[in-house]
C-alpha cells in the first residue's frame, strides 16, 4: 500500500501543475437550458405556494378597516394636508388657516421630527386620543427643513412639543412624550373653557 501512494507523494509541485490540464482548473458549467428550466420550475413552485396561501386566507372583517379620526378632517369637512391614517399633518402654509378655521375648538398640535424616538412612541397614543376625544382636534407638524421657519416662529426647541390652541391663540404647551400629562393639560383647558362660558 505504501508503494502505491509513494510515487504520487514524491512528485514535485511543478510536475503536479504540468499534469493538470487547462480544463481541470475551470469549473464545470451547467448548460443554459438546464439553468432556465430550474428557474422556471422554482417560479412555478412559488406561484403554486402563493395560490395555496391565498385560498387559505379569510376575507377581512369590514369592522377592522381603520376609521379616519375626526381630527384628520379640516373645519369645512375637506381634507387639507397629508393624512397617514392617523393625524392630519399641517405645514407652514396650512397651519394658521387651519387654526383660524376651527375657531373655538381646542387644537392639540404635535411638533415632531422623523428621527425622534419619543415622538414615534407617543404617536399611536395620540391617534387613539384623537379617536376618543371628539371635543379636541389633534394635528401634527413635522419640524423638518420645509417647516423650519414655523418651528422658529413658534420657538420649538425640543421634540416632541405640544401646543394647545383655541381661537388661533396658544393657551398651553408642554414638552416630552408623557400621555398622562398631555391628557391632564387637555382636561384643564377644557375645564377653563367650560367655566368661562
Cell numbers standing for residue 129: 386620543
User: Burial, 95: exposed, middle or buried (Cβ in 10 Å; 0-12, 13-18, 19+)?
Assistant: buried
Name the strand (E) or helix (H) holding 2: helix 2-10
Q: How far is it, in rounded angstroms, from Cα 186 to Cα 173?
A: 10
For the residues of 64-118, what is the DSSP string, one character each? GSPPPPGGGS-TTSS--SEESSSSEEE-TTTHHHHHHHHTTSEEEEEEE-TT-HH
Residue whose cell numbers read 391628557: 183
Contact 114, 144 (CB under 8 A): yes
Q: Active-site residue among 8, 23, 116, 143?
A: 116
Does the annotation count 119 as an active-site position? yes
Does the annotation count 116 as an active-site position? yes
Partners of residue 142 on adjacent β-strands: 112
Partners of residue 169 on adjacent β-strands: 166
Name the strand (E) or helix (H) holding 54: helix 32-56
Residues taking part in catalysis = 116, 119
Amino acid at each position: 500500500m505504501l508503494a502505491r501512494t509513494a510515487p504520487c507523494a514524491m512528485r514535485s509541485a511543478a510536475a503536479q501543475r504540468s499534469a493538470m490540464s487547462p480544463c481541470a482548473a475551470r469549473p464545470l458549467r451547467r448548460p443554459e437550458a438546464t439553468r432556465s428550466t430550474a428557474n422556471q420550475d422554482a417560479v412555478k413552485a412559488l406561484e403554486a405556494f402563493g395560490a395555496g396561501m391565498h385560498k387559505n386566507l379569510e376575507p377581512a372583517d369590514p369592522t377592522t378597516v381603520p376609521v379616519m379620526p375626526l381630527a384628520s378632517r379640516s373645519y369645512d369637512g375637506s381634507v387639507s394636508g397629508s393624512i397617514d391614517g392617523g393625524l392630519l399633518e399641517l405645514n407652514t402654509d396650512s397651519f394658521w388657516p387651519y387654526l383660524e378655521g376651527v375657531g373655538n375648538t381646542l387644537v392639540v398640535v404635535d411638533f415632531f421630527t422623523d428621527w425622534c424616538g419619543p415622538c414615534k412612541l407617543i404617536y399611536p397614543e395620540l391617534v387613539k386620543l384623537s379617536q376618543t376625544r371628539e371635543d379636541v382636534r389633534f394635528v401634527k407638524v413635522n419640524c423638518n427643513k420645509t417647516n423650519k421657519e414655523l418651528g422658529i416662529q413658534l420657538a420649538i426647541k425640543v421634540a416632541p412639543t405640544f401646543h394647545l390652541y383655541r381661537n388661533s391663540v396658544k393657551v398651553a404647551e408642554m414638552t416630552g412624550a408623557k400621555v398622562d400629562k398631555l391628557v391632564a393639560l387637555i382636561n384643564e383647558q377644557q375645564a377653563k373653557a367650560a367655566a368661562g362660558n
